[in-house]
């Protein structure tokens, strides 16, 4: 589907959801009387009413760190320190972080049928991408004693793709429907966020994860200006990032609740690359040679597009002993560790209420996308991926329970006409299919069924109940805390709008046999 065609469909669908006017990125005509100018400690940001709503304010393109360019490239993020003289245009998203764009070589679910999972049509990428976005429902005001809970979203994409500007993950409906503030963040990806350069001496190898922490620190320090409650911040996201965060900051997480969707720290590998072979390979292709420091300094000033091109399309695995050219979280034993099983047994994680959620067929969207569906080795890989995430969720939830941490476990089964293409029955509840339900965006390209709308409302309500009161909100919602031996597994999208309870270990038969050594790139 062409991006322009998708944009027209998207805007047409949005127009049916509210009575507001679609605003251009630089349209300030309604800003004077709608609370759309907010002053923070270092700058003022001017926002907009989010497209086709009348009761959700949007503030995008907000810098939480200095641009990571030149001498800051590949390094840990640096806090914004100098006041901005100009008002920040926050009426739309800033650029997404550097990543390959365009039509992929092999068709995927997203590129073929569901571009709402991808970056917004026309979205630009840039190194200057360390920004965040805030959706605020009507009634949230600076100085309000009843400040709203805050939900901070970390996007997935295997630490190589995607970003905050992605239609199925827009936060306006979740904010409006549940009276919460939603924040989404960008963070550096692939080689820019996980360079593994030998010149770093084992430190700051995971700049992309440090970006996430820096963004959360900014929100904690500034969200009061937007009507948010820094004491009630929930971190939620797709993939490993949320659980990795819980182990990286066990004593000062800054947030009061965690929701890890379709991924966790345990079960994946984070192989160190102390010699920086992958980084050196890319550097050599760009003419950077010499000592580790010389190579690093040279790479800091090469055009970002040249680096990305080399990483994305300039590498032949067959000519390099079939080794992947991969840049993702690596064990530095500072914020990413090589012994998560042992750390879990010792309780070395943030002991705050946690949700672990997975889809019934996580691997469905990770195999070649054909009507016939996977078979042979592809079928084995699909099932292994599903079990990897499901078994990881089981292990992680049990670890929290043993540490007396309030924990819930969810398994999602929903299949809907506007999210599951006709004729692809094998796809099931695939990786990411729960996200439009959580954000209330499942009807962006086609109408929901009545049950789908009710399920989405219920799903959103649960996430918001947790954000508003991580310890007791879900208990009051009727959800029991996880116990593998009791009827505590929450099944959603399972033929009813509400929750269906099952034995906690109902889907874990394969877990004892599975060796969790796969590199989890989700």
pLDDT tens-digit series, residues 256-274: 999 999 999 987 788 877 6
Say if residues 389 and 362 touch (Cβ distance below 8 Å): yes
Q: Is residue 82 part of a domain?
A: no
Say if residues 178 and 461 touch (Cβ distance below 8 Å): yes
What does the block give as tokens for 198?
């030998």
Q: What is the pLDDT at residue 274?
A: 67
Domain boundary among the residues 317, 347, 374 is at: 317
Residues 286, 266, single domain; the answer is no
Kindly report, residue by residue over 410-432, the tens digit of the pLDDT.
999 999 999 999 999 999 999 99
Residues 268, 288, single domain; the answer is no
Residues 380, 281, single domain; the answer is no
Residues 339, 432, single domain; the answer is yes
Residues 496, 424, single domain; the answer is yes
* Structural domain containing residue 358: 3-26+36-66+88-95+127-272+331-503
Q: Is residue 118 part of a domain?
A: no
Q: Is residue 521 part of a domain?
A: no
Residues 251, 380, single domain; the answer is yes
| Residue 348 binned pLDDT confidence (cut-offs 50, 70, 90) | very high
Q: Indicate the burial class of 99 (C-beta count within 10 angstroms; 0-12, 13-18, 19 or more).
A: buried
Residues 340, 468, single domain; the answer is yes
Kindly report, residue by residue over 19-33, the tens digit of the pLDDT.
222 233 343 334 444
Q: What is the pLDDT at residue 16?
A: 35
- Residues 6+ away with beta carbon under 8 Å from 31: 37, 46, 47, 48
**pLDDT averaged over every residue in the chain:** 88
Q: Is residue 163 part of a domain?
A: yes
Could you tell me which of 60, 36, 31 has the C-alpha nearest to residue 142?
36
Residues 56, 205, single domain; the answer is yes
Distance CA 314, CA 324 (A): 12
Q: Per-residue b/e over 197-227, b at no fewer than 16 CB within 10 Å?
A: bbbbeeebbbbbbbbbbbbbebbbebbebbb
The enclosing H or E element of 281 equals: helix 277-285
Domain of residue 14, CATH code:
3.40.50.1820
3-state SS assignment for residue 7: helix
Residue 11 scores a pLDDT above 50: no
Residues 404, 313, single domain; the answer is no
């Amino acid at each position: 589907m062409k991006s322009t065609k998708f944009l027209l469909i998207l805007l047409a669908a949005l127009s049916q959801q509210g009575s507001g006017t679609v605003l251009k990125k630089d349209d300030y005509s309604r800003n004077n009387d709608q609370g759309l100018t907010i002053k923070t400690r270092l700058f003022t940001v001017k926002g907009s009413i989010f497209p086709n709503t009348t009761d959700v304010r949007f503030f995008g393109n907000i810098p939480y760190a200095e641009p990571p360019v030149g001498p800051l490239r590949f390094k840990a993020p640096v806090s914004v320190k100098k006041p901005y003289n100009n008002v920040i245009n926050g009426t739309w998203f800033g650029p997404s972080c550097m990543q390959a764009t365009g039509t992929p070589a092999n068709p995927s679910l997203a590129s073929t049928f569901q571009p709402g999972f991808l970056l917004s049509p026309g979205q630009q990428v840039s190194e200057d991408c360390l920004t965040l976005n805030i959706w605020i429902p009507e009634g949230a005001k600076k100085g309000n004693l009843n400040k709203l809970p805050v939900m901070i979203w970390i996007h997935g994409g295997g630490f190589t793709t995607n970003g905050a500007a992605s239609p199925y993950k827009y936060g306006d409906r979740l904010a409006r429907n549940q009276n919460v503030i939603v924040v989404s963040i960008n963070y550096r990806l692939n080689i820019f966020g996980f360079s593994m350069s030998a010149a770093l001496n084992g430190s700051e190898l995971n700049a992309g994860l440090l970006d996430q922490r820096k963004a959360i620190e900014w929100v904690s320090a500034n969200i009061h200006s937007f009507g948010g409650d820094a004491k009630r911040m929930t971190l939620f996201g797709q993939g490993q990032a949320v659980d990795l965060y819980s182990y990286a900051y066990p004593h000062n997480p800054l947030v009061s609740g965690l929701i890890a969707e379709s991924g966790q720290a345990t079960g994946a590998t984070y192989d160190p690359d102390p010699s920086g072979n992958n980084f050196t390979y890319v550097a050599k292709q760009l003419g950077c040679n010499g000592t580790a420091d010389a190579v690093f300094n040279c790479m800091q000033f090469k055009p970002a597009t040249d680096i990305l091109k080399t990483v994305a399309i300039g590498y032949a695995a067959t000519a390099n002993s079939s080794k992947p050219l991969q840049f993702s979280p690596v064990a530095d034993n500072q914020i990413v560790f090589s012994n998560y099983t042992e750390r879990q047994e010792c309780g070395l994680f943030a002991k705050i209420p946690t949700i672990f959620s997975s889809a019934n067929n996580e691997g469905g969207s990770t195999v070649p996308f054909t009507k016939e569906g996977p078979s042979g080795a592809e079928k084995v890989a699909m099932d292994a991926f599903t079990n990897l995430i499901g078994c990881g969720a089981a292990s992680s939830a049990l670890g929290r329970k043993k540490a007396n941490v309030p924990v819930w476990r969810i398994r999602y089964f929903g299949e809907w006409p506007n999210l599951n293409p006709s004729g692809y029955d094998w796809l099931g509840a695939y990786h990411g299919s729960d996200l439009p339900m959580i954000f209330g965006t499942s009807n962006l390209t086609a109408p929901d069924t009545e049950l789908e709308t009710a399920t989405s409302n219920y799903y959103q309500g649960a996430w918001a109940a947790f954000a508003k009161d991580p310890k007791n909100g879900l208990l009051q919602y009727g959800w029991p805390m996880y116990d593998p031996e009791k009827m505590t597994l929450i099944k959603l999208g399972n033929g009813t709008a509400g929750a269906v309870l099952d034995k906690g270990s109902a889907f874990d038969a394969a877990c004892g046999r599975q060796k969790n050594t796969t590199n989890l790139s989700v």
